Amino acid sequence: MPATCPSPTHNLHTSPYSLRPRTAPPASLRQAFLLTPPSLTRKCCRKSSNELTEACQEVERLTAEVNKAKASIGETQENLDHLKRVVNQKHGTQVSPLHDTMQQPFTLGKCGHTFSHTCLQSWFQQSIANAMRNYGNITIPEYLKNPPYSVGDINTIFMCKYISYVFYTCPVCRTHITDKPTETRTLQELIEGINSTFGSPEEPTNDNSIQFLQDIWADCWFDKCELITIDD
């Protein structure tokens, strides 16, 4: 017997959902279809790319700041190396060894050169010793002939008239210095930042630190002495 096609009535009974009227999907469902996985991926990639670009720019900025700080410290270190050579050539072992790292940077007002406190302390004390040797026919106690000097030694030298004046000069350019060096806070902050990152070198101990907390130059600069100045 030939097969017969199902009647429409039979089709309705066997497939009740095939003729159900279609309704528009809700707005949330339409939005979900719009945000397909590929579009979500592209959006996330754009966000990650922007964040990566900003991070790279920040790294470049910080790198530039570090390089600038290193250049400033390097220039000052060159001055220290020059000072070390000058002192060693002129005074041999009479001057205590200079500290190899820049700690407590101070700037000379007239010429603008910057050195560590330790280097300037050694230089100024040697200037006092040289002045005493050239002062005249005086008898200088053996312990005062050569540095290092304590605060008490400096007071004795000037109060007992072993010397009444002294030339202070810049170790590099020999400009005559009449004012105490001033602390370079900006450079000090840079040094502290670098030390906090890469580690701080061992600082030299100072036997007179308690005595001149109020005046860090008290062991090499006597305020009441006569400073001889020469016009440049």
How confident is the model over 115-139, as pLDDT tens digits?
888 889 999 999 999 989 887 767 8
Instruction: Look at residues 102, 95, 153 and name the one whose alpha carbon lies nearest to residue 122.
Output: 95
Decide: 102 and 116 in contact? Cβ < 8 Å: yes
From CA 82, how far away is CA 66, in angstroms rounded?
A: 24
Half-sphere exposure of 19 (CA within 13 A, CB side): 9
Residue 222 CB contacts under 8 Å (≥ 6 apart), including other chains: 154, 155, 157, 158, 166
Decide: 126 and 107 in contact? Cβ < 8 Å: no
Global pTM?
Answer: 0.49
What is the predicted pLDDT for the residue at 126? 93
- The number of residues in the chain equals 232
Q: Which residue has the higher pLDDT, 10 or 46?
A: 46
Cα distances (angstroms) measured from residue 151 to each of 92, 104, 211, 226: 24, 19, 7, 18
Cα distances (angstroms) measured from residue 207 to each of 115, 129, 151: 20, 19, 10
Helix (H, G, I), strand (E, B) or coil at 107: strand
For the chain, the helix, strand and coil percentages under 3-state DSSP, each to the nearest 5: 50, 5, 45
From CA 197, how far away is CA 63, in angstroms rounded?
A: 13
Q: For the residues 170-188, what does the mean pLDDT come to?
A: 83
In this structure, what DSSP letter does residue 116 have? Answer: E
- pLDDT class for 143, splitting at 50, 70, 90? very high
Instruction: Look at residues 194, 209, 208 and name the one whose alpha carbon lies nearest to residue 69.
Output: 194
Segment (H or E) for 226: strand 226-227
158's tokens = 């000037």
From CA 4, how far away is CA 26, in angstroms rounded?
A: 41
- pLDDT class for 196, splitting at 50, 70, 90? low
pLDDT over 80 at 141, yes or no: yes
Interval 26-84: pLDDT, tens: 666 555 555 555 665 566 667 677 788 888 888 888 888 888 877 777 777 777 676 66
What is the predicted pLDDT for the residue at 148? 92
